[in-house]
Structure 1
Amino acid sequence: MDATFTFLISIGLCLHWEVEAQLDTISRPTLWAEPSPVVPKGADVTLRCQSQRGRNRFQLWKDEELQEERNASWHQAEFVLREVDDWRDARSYRCRSGQGPLWSELSDPLALVVMTGDFPTPSISVSPKPSVSPWTTVIIQCQMSSQQSSLDYNFALLEAKSLQVLQIQNLLKSQPYFSLPFVKAKDTGSYSCIYYRKTPPYKGSHPSQTLELTVSGHLPRPTLWAQPGLVVVPGTNITLWCSRPPLASSEEVTYTLWKTETWQPLQYQNSADLWTGFSLPSVRPEDAGSYKCTYKDRKASGVPSEFSEGLELVVTGSLPKPSLSALPGQVVEPGKHVTLQCRQPPWSALWRATFTLLKVGSPQPLQSQSPAGTSAVFPLLSVRAQDAGNYTCVYKTTFPQMSEPSDVLEIWVTDASPKPSLSAWPASEIASGTNVTLLCQGPPWTTTFALHKEGSMDIIQDEANFFLTRVTSKHSGCYSCSYQLGTNGSLWTQHSDPLQLIVRVSSNTLLITLSCVTFLLLCLLLLVCFCHQYIPRAAGFPGDNFRRFFCCSCLSKDVCLSHHLEDPREETLYTEVAKERPKESSVPIDKDVTYAHLNIKTMNEKQTNPKETSTEATLYATLSLD
């Protein structure tokens, strides 16, 4: 039964991996060019490859040949082309992304068009007229010189200022034209067109003259944001910026700032720029609320644009700050739910207060609630990497009075967790015998850390500081660290950048070692001198006595005994001869005296074996006695 169950699980895992591999193969990245895929010769172009499944390896292909491969974070890679050339760079580009050994399919091809002066400039026209009513179908025609065949070229409709490609026509027989069916106010703008070769290199003409198209009715919605921020203290100077999309007309427009509580216009600004600022100096708590803006083109029959999205300005007041908590916790896996609860302080419970959830760096409030109690619950469903960040909340009454913002609560999504960093204190290069601390720095909620060293076991602990005491050369090596994600013990972050720890031999240790060696040599020299000074000086041969004395002092017992037992007869005879030697005469001797040292050992050997001849030398000495 157990074997069957294990077999089925193995088959399921294999099928799961096979499906994942097929999904990875099917999923394609997206490739686009900035500022545009249509550029003049000599300009710089950035090709961006965006992965859909979080891969971090990217390849750029040109004309089906691999050009460059790189690693990148945040699921996107940039490939920069400097000073593009119409022959070298006006080609077809594709990209793909990978993770480990798996690679995605190549993206859809992107044709990079380089505009040159090699072709005549086309002309552009519009039908029925440049100024039309909403829901009208507009036809824009792009024409080239009659001397050229349009069948060899593609035609592109561009936004005149940014050169963004709006439409492409691949003609076979008919004349090139672009259709804008049922236009709205957002279609108001400037248009131009170009044509370029169908085959690489994609050399193109210069853009045509600009065509101004105006569609009456509501203009496109503007955008409103605040500087320095949405949550400010009383007395702060605030600027609300209102920006609009490009229009066909470059004349001035009238911007208007509104407050939604009264729906009365607060300020007006006339400007031909794409944005303008409304100043709110020294704001007060009563200035808090929702703001919107509009703009009006004087050539569009005086009809204003749509309102921008509401901007909730929070001016903190005298009410105490609330508390913000997360359930089940601040660390969330992708796709899971987390609930943020904003609660008033217990000593200042106000009924029917309005709670607002804010995210630091976001221009708009995330959620607002007016519950019956003293707290509000804000759900964050199926969180993603972009949901990670710092959150805070406020509450206000109808007086109006606004509370101080709560303390910042940081929410972490595990697939957006930052890579840790590893550092050494006091330094990464230290002397042996000292202590060193390796610090693994991660998010503040991290409780479990792991230290990795090449060729060694990992060290896992609940502290970020790893202490190495009295280090030696074996502690040298390459270290990295990681930390645990969430409550799942199998989830760990990627390793930090490697840290090379170098342990060098201390100069003090080397000095002590040399001192010990010098001391031992000196002791040995003194011992030799001591032995030489106290050697018994025999009347006959002091060198032989020194040899026997040194042997007995320094060699083993067996060696010394064998040496003494070697010539016992010689020493005995020498002693007897010395005893029988007559006393020296006091009378001076005028003759030379010759002494001979007889080798008794040799004489004895000749008595036993007279045929052998001694090879030892006999020493003669002649003394002249004056």
Structure 2
Amino acid sequence: MGPTVTFLISIGLCLDWAVRAQMDTLPRPTLWAVPSPVVPKGADVTLRCQGHLGSDRFQLWNDGELRDERNESWQQAEFVLRNVDDQRDARSYSCRSGQGPWWSEPSEALALVVTGALPKPTVSTSHYYTVYPGTRVTIWCQMAQQMASPQDYSFALLEAKSLEPFQRQSPAGTQAVFLLLSVGAKDAGRYSCIYYKKTAPYRGSHPSEILELTVYGLLPRPTFWAQSGLVMAPGANITLWCSRPKLSSLKEVTFSLYKAGTQRPLQQQTSADLWTGFLLPSVRLEDTGSYSCSYMERTVSAKESEPSEALELLVPGSLPRPSLSALPGLVVESGMHVTLQCWQPHQTFLSDVTFILLKVGTPQPLQSQSPGGTSAAFPLLSVRAQDAGNYSCVYYRKMVPYQVSKPSQVLEIWVTDALPKPSLSAWPGPEVVSGTNVTLLCQGPSWRTRFILHKEGSPDTTQDEAQFLLTHVTSKHSGNYSCRYQPGTNSSLWTQPSDHLEITVREPSNTLLITLSCVSSLLLCLFLLVFFCHRSTPLAGDLHGDSLRRFFCCSCHPWSACLPRHPEAPRDEALYTQVAEKTPTEPSVPMAEDPEGVTYAHLNIRTLNKRQADPQEKSTESTVYASVS
């Protein structure tokens, strides 16, 4: 778009604003519901508000109160109501569009009917289920008999699958009459009906049984679907299922699979069953496209059905991947809104693309938009725990040759009701000795920002790190601990606390000290024992050194090896020990002149006795004397 054109458009918008300001009003927008203003309880519905060219603000009103407001860069906004309730959401809606400082008048009111609260009605027709073109057909819808005050209810004739209303009636009684004048091919199909409250909340009945209407010369259109989803990675297998209504006139039919842009069927199958599957093995990028199916009688007349609704099969990979972001953030409080924005890459600008929002685990796309620009905004309104999960987006071109981008990076959305609580652990353990350092680790999701540690009876500790260090712990550190983390920038929002972790600090016991002391002494004794037993040179010198050597040596040698040896003594010599009251200073040798005699203790290896020695008697054995003091 050249600068001249842009300037002219800007001048035109300014003039439009000036004119609107003089008129003090903007054109009334249009509000409608997708797929239908009749919604089963618990389902999702999208309310689309179409404003005039240049609208950049939109408001959704509910029973005269503002329910939601958003800024959009295009002339249309979507408001998604999830898991609708027959009390809260079955209300009257309108919308306004804004441009600059001005707002439009509210749109016409849209009554959202939520079914499932009342007993289902009965449905019947004035003709057989198969009629000729041009026939006038009457369909009756009868309210359940037990309902009181029938004048408070309205009736609606619906398309059985989408619940899209064809006609509405507000009779005074319990029955409504719907007329189909001069039916044609467009009137063939499946019908049901409901009744619902005239005033809010618009609580509706369960849909009636299905009434199937067939027009001669044309068979009812089949139903076409894929169980595994329509966005398939290259190389994957997908089965497209085509099912026909149950008609008594049909026994066996031929099902055909078509792809937009081709004249001949891709596949054909003959079957007497009500459905068949078309397998597309190992899909490739060129398999992207719009598919439909039909069936044909195997008779002379060979009547064929209308084509089914088209399915868009997408095989990503032929265009660069987009980027996906979340506003206001990845963590959303329950009941609040979040918008997922899908952007084309900067190096790619395709104005005629369609954006699709995907969720891991959900086979069908969540939302689809064709804004005509470089980005699309997918609103998630009043999020709940089930909205948490992994999201991605793709964009593609709906013209031949079909092109689909690679999926964006997965974006994980958390809802506060579904946030996991953290876990708290201690190192080296929950039971420690006084004076030890203890580290408490608070673990949670990777995007957590701040942490808080709580101890019963003590003030909380808040920090930006997950590790809390307790230094030189004492008995006052004993107790129950828990932690929480902050999931976003909202300083007032914290998760649920972790499970309690009990920390026990014990004082060192006397038994432990005694044990350590005994072990130290034993180690010292063993060291001395090894030292004396393995010395290569015996202790020389006085008798005290020899006794010490024998004391430490006898525990590791035989007893005989511990005895002192004389270099000239025979192996079986007798050992005598002189016992005296005083220790002699000279070698202890008996004197023959001693008149009183000397008392000896005769120690022999074989015998041990005590006798009075004769001074003149000489010993015939070699004798060794040792003085014992």
TM-score range, shorter chain: 0.3 to 0.5
Compare the two structures and name the one with the higher helix fraction: 1
Normalising by structure 2, we get a TM-score of 0.43
> What TM-score comes out, normalization by structure 1 length?
0.43
